[in-house]
Amino acid sequence: MHRLILKFRRKVKTHSLTSLFSYPFCPFATLAAVDHPELPSNDAASTILTRLINSNYRDKRGVARRFRYDPEFKTLISGLCSPEIDGILEKLRIEYPETALDLFFLLKNDYGVKHSRDSYLFIAHVLAKKERLRALKLHLLQMVQQEEFL
Per-residue pLDDT of the chain in tens (150 residues, 90 and over written 9): 455 555 545 554 444 444 444 444 434 333 333 343 454 456 888 888 888 888 766 665 677 778 888 889 888 888 889 999 999 999 999 888 999 999 999 999 988 889 999 999 999 999 999 999 999 999 999 999 988 876
Supply the pLDDT for residue 53: 82
Would you say residue 6 lies in a domain?
Answer: no
**Distance between the two ends of the chain, CA-based, in angstroms?**
19
CA separation, residue 50 to residues 25, 57, 89, 93, 135 (Å) = 37, 11, 13, 14, 28
Would you say residue 29 lies in a domain?
Answer: no
CA separation, residue 87 to residues 26, 93, 95 (Å) = 25, 10, 13
Would you say residue 18 lies in a domain?
Answer: no
Supply the pLDDT for residue 52: 84
Would you say residue 116 lies in a domain?
Answer: yes
Would you say residue 50 lies in a domain?
Answer: yes
Would you say residue 110 lies in a domain?
Answer: yes
Name the residue range of residue 101's domain: 40-149
The count of structural domains within the chain is 1
Supply the pLDDT for residue 131: 93
Would you say residue 130 lies in a domain?
Answer: yes
Q: What is the pTM of this model?
A: 0.68
* Residue partners of 67: CB distance under 8 A and separation at least 6: 51, 73, 106
Q: How many residues does the chain have?
A: 150
DSSP code per residue over 86-115: HHHHHHHHHH-HHHHHHHHHIIIIIS----
Asked if 136 and 124 touch (Cβ cutoff 8 Å), the reply is yes
Would you say residue 126 lies in a domain?
Answer: yes
- C-alpha–C-alpha distance, residues 81 and 114, integer Å: 10
